[in-house]
Structure 1
Amino acid sequence: MKSIQQRLLTSLLIGLPLLWVLTSGFIAWRLWHEIKEMNDTQITQVARYLIGVAPKEDDNKNDYEKDDSKSKKKRPAKIYNLNSKYLSGDLGNAKDDYMGFAIWNKDGRLLMADENGQSFAFLPDQHGFLEESDSAYQRLNPFSKRWRLFYVHDDHDSKHKGRVIAVGQNLDSRQEMIVSAMTVQVLPMLIGLLAFIGLVIWLIRRGFMPLTQISAELAQRQPQDDSPITADVPKEIQPLVTALNVLFVKVAETLAREQRFTADASHELRSPLAALKLQADLLQQQLLQLSDIEDDNQLFYHAQKISNGIERATHLVDQLLILAKIEPQQQLPPEQLEKPDWLILTDIVLSDVNRLGREKHIQLKRSVICDNPADILPILINPILFKLLIRNLLDNAIRYCPDGSLIELQLDTNAISVVDNGLGVEPEQLARLSERFYRPAGQSQLGSGLGLSIVNRIAELHGLTLIFANRLPPDIGFITSVILKK
């Protein structure tokens, strides 16, 4: 399941832009519609003004055809030119060709127009706005088709009855104005959206920061640490923190009781086991001295079995005590870690197990696989625990290899391996070798089934992986390695 923070961020980062797109789309659609209505209203108002103004100007200027004794002439139409550079005020991005008008008499003669209107098409049968669906639209010249045209007839004045007035607005200028208006609306909203998204991300991360701090603290906490969490958290999380603090105390007390019990039990068992071992050894010596006792070989055999059982129990107690100490740890304290000298460390371990190897006539060998000993497994280790790890690997190999075998300790850049030429292990048993108290069937050697479990736990604490494998044919034997995790 995703984290609450990730789910919130995903939902908001998807939902907010989607909501913004829908809202902006609706606003743009309404804005487009309203501006078009406003411009159409403006056109009709201009047409209304022209109806009232144009006839008066026509009367004053006697804009009629006059007969001449020699020729018949028509008075030219009035063309009005207006340059915006001579206008004062804040005109913004308005252009000279934004609007235009034209006035014709009923015969189609142009009476009055501005610079744009003189190119408008005369449509005596058109009333109102000219739409593309109208049949008259097809009669427009290319210039007129680029304008939003409104036609009105002056039928109220009998003197000028039949006049046609056309008012137009440039479609490109209209669209540019609409786009500019929408940009003015949408751009600040977009900037606001981005700022709002940034604010949401910052607030969510800030709100979840106490949980992040608690998570980091819990990841570094040792199981036996019963100190309370002191992070400043919101009221909603405080009950959880309080419950965790109580749980820490309970867990620490439980682990302490288990460790005390293991230590006490180990201590109490060691003394009687040592006493029993001593008595068994004395019994063997006495049996060797009393040669006149019948069947003394049988008695010596049973005494040897008692001694072996005591030795196995002592070994088991030692292994249990080691496992109880390292099992609760999640990570090794930094102050216990150091960069090892692998040659010196392995010399010590090989010296410790040398006597056990000589008893079985087993040859112990160390090989450095890499060119430079300084490159061997470059990690920080707890020397005491790692000596125990290598010792257990060698001890396990010595115990289960036949007499006269060769055991090689190999040191490489990413692994430390113990390779023997013994009988190997059945493939189906490889996965279970690190289980506690597991011993393959048919074993006659003394053991507790905990040695490889301890090795596995120490390897995990050092960031290593314990791997078991049989040697590839034609070689025979077994390989145990601790390898750096990838």
Structure 2
Amino acid sequence: MKSIQQRLLTSLLIGLPLLWVLTSSFIAWRLWHEINEMNDTQITQVARYLIGVSADEDNDNDKDDYDYDDKQGENKEKHTAKIYNLKSKQLSGDLGDAEDDYMGFAIWDKEGRLLMADENGQSFAFLPDQHGFLEEDDHTYQRLNPFSKRWRLFYIHDEHSHKHESRVIAVGQNLDSRQKMIVDAMSVQVLPMLVGLLAFIGLVVWLIRRGFRPLTKISSELEQRQPQDDSPVTAEVPKEIQPLVTALNILFVKVADTLAREQRFTADASHELRSPLAALKLQADLLQQQILQLSGIEDDSQLFYHTQQISKGIERATHLVEQLLILAKIEPQQQLPPEQLEKVDWLMLTDVVLSDVNRLAREKHIQLKRTVHCDNPADILPILINPILFKLLIRNLLDNAIRYCPEGSLIELQLDTNAIRVVDNGMGVEPQQLARLSERFYRPAGQSQLGSGLGLSIVNRIAELHGLTLAFTNRSAPETGFIVTIKNTIKNTIKN
């Protein structure tokens, strides 16, 4: 399940841009509609203004549009249209990016003769039957020349002109310029909104991370806390989280108290269980000696056998108690305290362990061998360890190999730069049982050797506390035997 912080950030970082896109799209659509309406209104107003201007031009013009030549008996057209050409650079004021071809107009008489126009209006088509705006779906619009298709055209008829009846006035606006104006207007709206959106997203991310910072601090503190630590969490947290912190502080006290009771019980059990078992073992040994000294007792060999079984049972119980006590001590630990870790001399440490198990190996005529696979002994598995626990780890591995190997076997302790291996030439383990060897109280079927099924479980736990991994494999054919490898995960490596 994702964290609350990640879910909030994901939702907001997707939702805010999506909301912005929807809002901006609606604003752009409304802005496009309103600007089109405004420009169409401007066109109609210009058309009305031109009606008055054209009438004033007629009142000021005292000459006839046409002169007749009596000699030839034919009308000769002497009228020329008035063309207005005014560049934007000649105008004063802040015109922005207005183009010279932004608007145009043309005025025709009822015969289609051009009376007045500007430079753009000269190319407008005379449509005597058109009234109002020429829409794109009109067939007339489609048959106009390509130039006219770039214009939004409005036609109006001056029915009240006292000289030229039914004048046709056309006013057009360049669509490219209109679209450019709309795009510029939308850019003025959208770009600041985009910058504001990015700034708002950054603010949201910063605020969420700042709001979750106390929880992150608490998580880091809890991750490093030891189970027996009952000190309260003192981090400042929001009021909504304070009940949780208070409950955690109460739980820490309960857990620490429970662990303290368990440790006291373990210490008491260690003393109370070892002493009676040692006494029983002593009594069994004395009984065996007495039986051997006595003679003439019927079935004395049977009595001696039973005393041997009692002694083995006591040894097994003693071994089991020791393993359980060791496991009870190391199991609650999440990590080893730094003050307990140190760099050791592997040769000296393994000398001690090999001497401890040598007696048991001699009883089964098993040869113990140590091999160093590097030139410099200082390069052997360069990690910080707890020497006491690691002696127990190696001793358990060797003890396990000695117990389950047949007499006359060879057990080799290999020391390498990144691993420690215990290799024997015994019968090995069934492949389907390899994955379960580190389980508590698990022993492969058919075993007659003394054991509790906890040795490899303790080895695995000690390896985990040191950041190491435990691997079980059989030797490759044609060789037979079992290999236990303690590998380094590099996170605890000593840096030179």
TM-score, normalising length from structure 2? 0.92
- Tell me the CA shift for residue 430 of structure 1: 2.6
Matched, 1:53 2:57: no
The answer to whether the Cα contact below 8 Å between 2:58 and 2:163 also exists between their aligned partners in 1 is no
> Which stretch of the first structure deviates more once superposed, 37-46 or 304-313?
304-313
1:252 matched residue in structure 2: 256
Alignment of 1:277-426 (within 5 A): 277-291=281-295, 293=297, 295-370=299-374, 373-426=377-430
Cα offset, 1:21, TM superposition: 1.1
What's the counterpart of residue 156 of structure 1?
Answer: 160
- Larger mean Cα displacement after TM superposition, 458-467 or 304-313: 304-313
- Does residue 466 of structure 1 match 2:466? no
- Tell me which residue corresponds to 1:204: 208
- Counterpart of 1:180 in structure 2 is 184
Aligned amino acid, residue 118 of structure 1: Q
Deviates more, 1:182-191 or 1:443-452: 443-452
Deviation at residue 291 of structure 1 after TM alignment: 4.4
Q: Relative to structure 2, which stretch is displaced further, 26-35 or 200-209?
A: 200-209
The correspondence for 2:148, drawn from 131, 141, 144, is: 144
Residue 405 of structure 1: CA displacement?
A: 0.6
Structure 1 residue runs of 5 or longer lacking an equivalent are none
Of the structure 1 ranges 268-277 and 39-48, higher mean CA displacement relative to structure 2 is found in 268-277
- Quote the Cα distance in structure 1 between the aligned partners of 2:209 and 2:244: 19
**Partner residue, 1:108:** 112
Counterpart CA distance in 2 for 1:278 and 1:66 is 150
Quick check: 1:8 aligned with 2:12? no
Is structure 2 residue 35 aligned with structure 1 residue 35?
Answer: yes
Partner in structure 2 of residue 194 of structure 1: 198
Q: Is this contact kept in 1: 2:103–2:120, CA < 8 A? A: yes
CA contact (8 A) 1:146 1:171 kept: yes
| Partner deviation per Cα, 1:73-96 (whole Å, 9 max, x = no partner) | 423222111122222221111111
2-side partners of 1:437 and 1:132: how far apart? 89
- Taking the aligned partners of 1:352 and 1:35, their CA distance within structure 2 comes to 96
Could you tell me which amino acid in structure 2 is paired with residue 222 of structure 1?
Q
CA distance in 1, matches of 2:212, 2:465: 30
Q: Is the 8 A contact 2:161 2:167 kept in 1?
A: no
With over 3 angstroms needed to count, the CA separation of the structure-2 counterparts of 1:419 and 1:313, relative to structure 1, is same
8 Å CA contact 2:422–2:483 kept in 1: the answer is yes
Report the CA distance shift for 1:63/1:81 in structure 2 as closer, same or farther (over 3 A): farther
Deviates more, 1:408-417 or 1:251-260: 408-417
Indicate the SS of the match to 1:236: coil
Kept in 1, the 8 Å contact 2:107–2:117? The answer is yes
Partner of 1:238: 242
What amino acid is aligned across from residue 13 of structure 2 in structure 1? Answer: L
For the 8 Å contact 1:127–1:150, the answer to whether it is kept is yes
User: Quick check: 1:428 aligned with 2:428?
Assistant: no
Contact 2:160/2:166, CA 8 A, preserved across alignment: no
CA distance in 1 between counterparts of 2:474 and 2:142 reads: 92
Superposed displacement of residue 403, structure 1: 1.3
The answer to whether the 8 Å contact 1:362/1:406 transfers is yes
In the TM superposition, residue 412 of structure 1 has moved relative to its aligned partner by 2.9
Residue 375 of structure 1: CA displacement? 4.3
Picking from 83, 92, 98, the partner of 2:87 is 83
Does 1:123 find its partner at 2:131? no
3-state SS of 1:425 partner: coil
Shift of 1:139: 4.3
**SS of equivalent to 1:131:** coil
Alpha-carbon distance in 2 for matches of 1:472, 1:171: 84
Task: Give the counterpart letter for 2:65 in structure 1.
Answer: E
Cα 1:372–1:169 change in 2 (3 A) is farther
Cα distance in structure 2, aligned partners of 1:100 and 1:314:
111
Q: CA deviation at 1:396?
A: 0.6
Query: Does the CA contact (< 8 Å) of 2:353 and 2:395 recur in 1?
Result: yes
1:224-268 per-position Cα deviation (integer Å, ceiling 9, x unaligned): 221111111111111111111111111111121112112101111
Counterpart Cα distance in 1 of 2:349 and 2:332: 26
Question: Which amino acid in 2 is paired with 1:357?
Answer: A
Listed as ranges, the gaps of 5+ residues in structure 2 are 491-496
In structure 1, how many angstroms separate the alpha carbons of the residues matched to 2:97 and 2:382?
72
Identify which range, 330-339 or 427-436, moves more after superposition: 427-436
Q: Distance in 2 between matches of 1:288 and 1:119?
A: 137
Counting only pairs closer than 5 Å after superposition, residues 432-447 of structure 1 correspond to structure 2 as 432-447=436-451
Deviation at 1:387, TM superposition (A): 1.4
Q: Could you tell me how far apart the structure 2 residues matched to 1:285 and 1:36 are? A: 118
Contact 1:55/1:160 (8 A) holds in 2: no
Aligned residues: 486
Alignment partner of 2:470: what SS? strand
Corresponding letter in the other structure for 1:402: P
The answer to whether the 8 A contact 2:425-2:482 is kept is yes
SS at match of 2:83: strand
The letter of the residue matching 2:451 is: G
| Cα drift, residue 471 of structure 1 | 2.1
| Matched residue SS, 1:102 | strand
> After the TM superposition, which parts of structure 1 deviate over 6 Å for at least 4 consecutive aligned residues?
none
Please state whether the residue corresponding to 1:479 is helix, strand or coil: strand
Cα distance, 1:61 vs. partner? 2.8
Distance 1:63 1:148 in 2: 35
Amino acid at match of 2:444: P
* Deviations 1:26-48, CA, capped at 9 Å, x for gaps: 11111111111100000000001
- CA distance, structure 2, for counterparts of residue 432 and residue 482 of structure 1: 16
For residue 365 of structure 1, give the secondary structure of its aligned residue in structure 2.
Answer: strand
Kindly provide the amino acid, as one letter, of the partner of residue 2 in structure 1: K
Cα displacement (A) at 1:376: 3.5
User: 1:9 Cα deviation (Å)?
Assistant: 1.4
Aligned partners of 1:126 and 1:136 also within 8 Å: no
C-alpha contact 2:341 2:386 (8 A) present in aligned 1:
yes
Match of 1:18 in 2: 18
Q: Secondary structure at the match of 1:408?
A: strand
Structure 1 position 170, deviation (Å): 0.6
